[in-house]
Amino acid sequence: MSRALKVRVSAAKMLTPVVRELTLEPCTGPLPGFSAGSHVQVHLPGNARNAYSLTSDPSDSLHYRIAVRLQEASRGGSHYLHRHVEVGDTLQISPPANLFALHSTASLHILIAGGIGITPFMAHIAELERRQANFELHYLYRPGLSDAYVQPLQQRLGSRLHTYSCRPDLSKILRDRPLGSHVYTCGPQPLIDAVQQQAKALGWPRVRVHWEAFKGATPGQAFDLQLLRSGQRLRVGADQSLLEALESAGLQIPNLCRGGVCGQCVTRHVRGEIEHRDSFLSPSEQAEFLMPCVSRGCGPCVSLDL
Amino acid sequence: MTDRHSAAPDRLHSLPRYRQPHPREAASRHIVVMQSAAACASFAGELQQPLVLNEQNSNFGARLHQVLGSATVGSHLYIMGDEAFVWRIHAQARAAGMEDDEIDITRSIVGQRLVYCVHCGLTQVCGPEPLMTCVRCRVGLEVREHFSRRLGAYLGVCTNPDQPFAGVRP
């Protein structure tokens, strides 16, 4: 895995009462380039890492920008980035990785954002404008709360921006679109599910539907962990993910999304009851494997082939 | 993030594989493009109100261009004919913005196929025979079991490396 980057917070501002934007600059050397739709993992106290989309223009090699929504029921990562991090502080981040790239041959890009799901689209829009590509943004938000960037977007996009304060009629957005259309959605899971269902109902094949969920690990009950190859025994705390517990013990598990979708951290489980929370494995695969970034034991002990 | 294109290992092989086509019920519009009435596959009768284009009919090229240009997402294309025909239409549909997953091919006639000459770069229509002579550069070609989906053609290489100029030498 690539080494972590050290960055300094060069600016911070509240975009809405619950969304804080952080601008990051490198402490040494240049920042790695990134493609639109990329995210970075921000290292947080307690060995936790949260993934955030880069909202900055991919052609800007001097800064990265992220926008963090304060999550009330979370394990504290967003709270830390809202309340404790200040301008001048340094952070460790992983290099950018992209699981939500633009489709290279699409001739019309339909972007559907829900709330803080606007973040990857900010980079997409910069890239699409540079390519002079045909695109439109459908942005669903709660006015005054989760409407980050809406004013600059109105000026920038004009009639290409469609805003909604409640769930739009997705069949209107997806019906009778020309060949070459691709749809991208990012936001709360119910929105992603609805876009997928509507696309399917209108005969869209899966390859035209792109999505990114930004759920991370959520707490559960504590459990014991047995690693069969190394013979180690670990304890996974209630607020800790299984992956974080493995990393605390010095294991290096490949990972990209830390949200149960990319499939990188797949691990074989041998004994113990598992609560699967990923969106990657099929039910038959889950009988043998789990995604430690989000899934956890729901009994007293789990044994892994590690 | 979630496009698992790798779940199609059959596409890595050097020969085209023709899966058994069947009506795509999820599609909102069915478009059938056939080389002739004789090329029509039996499952076409099960399609709900298909739009049918037959190469034997007048204005076929213009109509195909118009149909592909105005088609919307949700359309599914079924191509029926010999190899040269189906891959020519396939390339046109891809250029119009159709995805591979929206196209079903039925090689319903044993007939002509396309061969790409590695010497002069000409793609030409040929029969099923393994040896041939390039119609432009006259080099003797052996048709390899190596197919390009992009070109819709098989690779033709020089049969005799000691005589790469065959009949005519410029």
From first to last of its 170 residues, chain B has per-residue pLDDT tens of: 333 444 455 555 788 888 778 888 889 999 999 999 999 888 888 898 999 999 999 999 999 999 999 999 999 999 999 999 999 999 999 999 999 999 999 999 989 999 999 989 999 999 999 999 999 988 999 999 999 988 999 999 999 888 776 655 54
Q: How many CB atoms lie within 10 A of CB A154?
A: 12
Buried b (16+ CB within 10 A) or exposed e, B39-66: bbbeebeebeebeebbbeeeeeeeebee
Residue of B nearest to A210 (CA): B1
Rounded Cα distance between B170 and B167, Å, is 10
Candidates A179, A208, A281, partner chain B, best to mutate (most B CBs within 10 A) = A179
Please indicate, yes or no, if residue A218 is contained in any of the structural domains.
Answer: no
What distance in Å separates residue A192's CA from the closest CA in chain B?
12
**Is there a single domain that holds both residue A183 and residue A248?**
no
Last residue within a domain, chosen from A34, A65, A98:
A98
**Is there a single domain that holds both residue A205 and residue A263?**
no
Please indicate, yes or no, if residue A103 is contained in any of the structural domains.
Answer: no
> What is the C-alpha end-to-end distance of chain B, expressed in Å?
54
Residue range(s) defining the domain that contains residue A193: 108-212
**Is there a single domain that holds both residue A244 and residue A265?**
yes
The residues with which A161 forms a beta bridge, in sequence order, are A137
**Is there a single domain that holds both residue A242 and residue A158?**
no
Give the pLDDT score at B3.
36
Residue of A nearest to B68 (CA): A179
Counting Cβ atoms within 10 Å, is residue A298 exposed (0-12), middle (13-18) or buried (19+)? middle
Please indicate, yes or no, if residue A157 is contained in any of the structural domains.
Answer: yes
Please indicate, yes or no, if residue A217 is contained in any of the structural domains.
Answer: no
Query: Which CATH number characterizes residue A235's domain?
Result: 3.10.20.30
* Phi, psi of B7, deg, nearest 5: -80, 30
Nearest to B73 among A100, A105, A204 (CB): A204
Give the pLDDT score at A218.
82
Query: Which CATH number characterizes residue A88's domain?
Result: 2.40.30.10
Please indicate, yes or no, if residue A193 is contained in any of the structural domains.
Answer: yes
Last residue within a domain, chosen from A180, A212, A244:
A212
For chain A, percent of residues with pLDDT exceeding 70: 99
Q: How many domains does chain A have?
A: 3
Q: Which of A152, A218, A210, A221 is nearest to A182 (CA)?
A: A210
Q: What is the number of CB-based contacts under 8 A between chain A and chain B?
A: 64
What distance in Å separates residue B68's CA from the closest CA in chain A?
8
Query: Which CATH number characterizes residue A203's domain?
Result: 3.40.50.80
What distance in Å separates residue A125's CA from the closest CA in chain B?
18
pLDDT digits (tens, 9 = 90+) for A217-270: 788 899 999 999 999 999 999 988 999 999 999 999 999 888 888 899 999 999
What distance in Å separates residue A208's CA from the closest CA in chain B?
8
Contact between A163 and A72 (Cβ < 8 Å): no
Residue A78, classed as helix, strand or coil, is helix
Last residue within a domain, chosen from A46, A77, A98:
A98
pLDDT digits (tens, 9 = 90+) for A81-122: 999 999 999 999 999 999 999 999 999 999 999 999 999 999
Please indicate, yes or no, if residue A58 is contained in any of the structural domains.
Answer: yes
Candidates B24, B73, B76, partner chain A, best to mutate (most A CBs within 10 A) = B73
Please indicate, yes or no, if residue A177 is contained in any of the structural domains.
Answer: yes
Give the pLDDT score at B168.
52
Contact between A209 and A287 (Cβ < 8 Å): no
**Is there a single domain that holds both residue A119 and residue A204?**
yes
Residues 6+ positions from A187 with CB-CB distance below 8 Å: A112, A113, A114, A115, A116, A117, A140
pTM given for the model: 0.86
**Is there a single domain that holds both residue A67 and residue A93?**
yes
**Is there a single domain that holds both residue A144 and residue A65?**
no
**Contact between chains at A261 and B71 (C-beta distance less than 8 A):** no
Chain B residues whose CB is inside 8 A of the A205 CB are 99, 101-102
Chain B residues whose CB is inside 8 A of the A174 CB are 73
Give the pLDDT score at B107.
92
Rounded Cα distance between A112 and A135, Å, is 11
Q: Which residues of A touch B (CB under 8 A)?
A: 99-100, 105, 107, 174-181, 200, 202-208, 210-212, 257, 261-262, 279
Contact between A250 and A284 (Cβ < 8 Å): no
Name the token pair of B17. 């594989």
Chain A residues whose CB is inside 8 A of the B26 CB are 200, 203
Please indicate, yes or no, if residue A85 is contained in any of the structural domains.
Answer: yes
Mean pLDDT of A192-203: 96
pLDDT at A211 over 90: yes
